[in-house]
């Protein structure tokens, strides 16, 4: 047998072997397009924030038609942490022990809004942030508005809460109002937004375009 024949036979055997392996291999699994969950890393303010699974039970998943286009968007809320790199310590000095730097770990709540693109694939269209702890997300009715409001409440410290109200308008999600409180808090989304903070009640004022104290329920 010539060298050319031996090379041809070897190629045929290798091709057949690869074909058998390919036929027997399991197809690669692809994540379903509607599987939306917290990413392992979130880039924000020049930092990479790592998803913190400790808060898994308090993460938020919500579906609602926020832009009134007939299809629901998805809102997820989760906690990320940032651990700064350790500073390089100087070498030991005579009669002096080197100080150990303990980096302060920061936490931040992220809220991502997902919408489907023209091809039917989910994409993140807006990332919002809160304080250190996840709280609540409410879809609320705003007087004289065709689109609903997105009310986000997140916690920081022992009692402090951050209240932010967003709405889809002018092709994006706009911040309508924001304030903080240490009072006990309850939210009534229907038939119109009412926020009870201690003894005060806040409602949406369409003329002033912000949350104001309800004159029917003064302090």
32, pLDDT greater than 50: no
pLDDT value of position 191: 87
Q: List, for residues 150-188, the tens digit of each pLDDT value.
A: 999 999 888 899 999 999 998 899 999 999 999 999 999
Question: SS3 for 18?
Answer: helix
At residue 217, φ and ψ (nearest 5 deg) are: -130, 65
**Interval 42-82: pLDDT, tens:** 999 899 999 999 999 999 999 999 999 999 999 999 999 99
CA distance 6 to 107: 66
pLDDT in tens, 86-137: 765 555 555 565 566 666 789 999 999 999 988 888 999 999 999 998 889 9
Which of 77, 210, 84 has its CA nearest to residue 131?
A: 77
Q: How confident is the model at residue 17 (pLDDT cuts 50, 70, 90)?
A: very low
Q: What is the pLDDT of residue 12?
A: 40
Query: Residue 92 in 3-state DSSP?
Result: coil
> Which pLDDT band holds residue 197 (cuts at 50, 70, 90)?
very high
pLDDT surpassing 70 at residue 22:
no
| Alpha-carbon span 93 to 19, nearest angstrom | 66
Top pLDDT among 131 and 33 is at: 131
Q: Is residue 215 pLDDT above 80, yes or no?
A: no
Torsion angle, CA of 127/133/134/140, rounded to 10 degrees? -80
Query: For residue 171, with 0-12 CB atoms within 10 Å meaning exposed, 13-18 middle and 19 or more buried, which class applies?
Result: exposed
146: CB partners within 8 A, 6+ apart: 68
Q: Is pLDDT of 18 > 50? A: no
Cα dihedral 26, 27, 28, 29, rounded to 10, equals -100
pLDDT band at 25 (very low <50, low <70, confident <90, very high): very low
pTM: 0.75
> What is the rounded radius of gyration, in angstroms, for the C-alpha atoms of the chain?
27
CA pair distance 175, 210, nearest whole angstrom: 10
- Dihedral angle sign, alpha carbons of residues 63, 107, 54, 153: negative
């Amino acid at each position: 047998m010539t060298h050319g024949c031996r090379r041809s036979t070897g190629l045929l055997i290798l091709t057949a072997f690869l074909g058998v392996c390919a036929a027997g291999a399991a197809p690669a699994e692809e994540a379903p397009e509607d599987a939306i969950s917290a990413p392992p890393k979130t880039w924000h303010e020049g930092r990479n924030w790592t998803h913190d699974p400790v808060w898994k039970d308090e993460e938020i998943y919500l579906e609602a038609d926020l832009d009134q286009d007939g299809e629901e968007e998805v809102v997820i809320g989760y906690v990320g942490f940032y651990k700064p790199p350790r500073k390089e310590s100087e070498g030991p000095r005579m009669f002096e022990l080197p100080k150990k730097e303990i980096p302060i770990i920061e936490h931040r709540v992220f809220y991502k809004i997902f919408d489907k693109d023209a091809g039917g694939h989910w994409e993140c269209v807006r990332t919002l942030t809160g304080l250190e702890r996840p709280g609540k997300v409410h879809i609320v009715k705003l007087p004289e508005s065709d689109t609903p409001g997105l009310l986000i409440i997140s916690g920081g410290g022992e009692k402090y809460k951050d209240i932010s109200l967003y709405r889809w308008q002018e092709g994006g999600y706009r911040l309508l109002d924001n304030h903080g409180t240490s009072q006990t808090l309850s939210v009534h989304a229907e038939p119109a937004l009412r926020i009870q903070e201690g003894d005060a009640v806040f409602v949406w004022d369409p003329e002033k375009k912000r949350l104001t104290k309800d004159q029917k329920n003064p302090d």
